[in-house]
Amino acid sequence: MTTPSPQARRPPLTGVRVLDLATLFAGPLVATFLGDFGADVIKVEHPRGDPVRGHGHAKDGIGLWAKMINRNKRMLSLDLSKPAAQEILSELAAHSDVLIENFRPGTLERWHIGPDQLQAQNPKLVIVRMTAFGQFGLVSRRSRVRRMDPPRSRRLDSPMGLPGWPAPSRH
């Protein structure tokens, strides 16, 4: 039996650099999974910290959600509303493969670090924009953590079901 070469044992995303600008759960979890597969993930957090740090249970003062979702990541604190931080992010993006963000639509553009600017210096940069309501449309600027009104929050297993669909059967 032959022993696999060290090259063959490397995780599949070794050599891929990911910038994680997202907060809370969806975007950071995507970055975590990429890190699990060997990507070099740099978590860029506001100096106040990601709100996920205050969610759920803690052990020894460290939030367990934050510990789980920030595994396999290097951490960097930047206030991206400041020009100096924007320059640092632009330099990082110039040498990265993926950028993940979940700001409200138009935020990165307002800070002059939107896709047009970042991809002008790095055309191969893949930008993942995760928002609850998309980048365009009537409700795109809504916050994803805001309580949704009842017609939009109806659960699939509710007695009413979804509009236009029969109610789920109860076994």
**Per-residue pLDDT tens for 156-168?**
444 555 555 565 5
Sheet holding 73-77, edge to edge: 73-77, 40-45, 17-20, 98-101, 126-129
Q: Is 158 contained in some domain? A: no
What gap in Å lies between CA 106 and CA 38, rounded to an integer? 31
The residue range of the domain holding 33 is: 17-153
Q: What is the pLDDT of residues 90-139, one digit of tens each?
A: 999 999 999 999 888 888 999 999 999 999 999 999 999 887 666 666 76
Per-residue CA distances from 22 to 2, 69, 87, 139, 171 (Å) = 43, 11, 18, 20, 41
Give SS3 for 96.
coil
Count of domains for the chain: 1
48 lies in some domain: yes
Q: The CATH number of the domain where 141 resides is what?
A: 3.40.50.10540
Question: What SS3 class is residue 95?
Answer: coil
Cβ–Cβ < 8 Å for 19, 89: yes
pLDDT tens, 27-80? 899 999 999 999 999 999 999 988 888 888 888 888 888 888 999 999 999 999
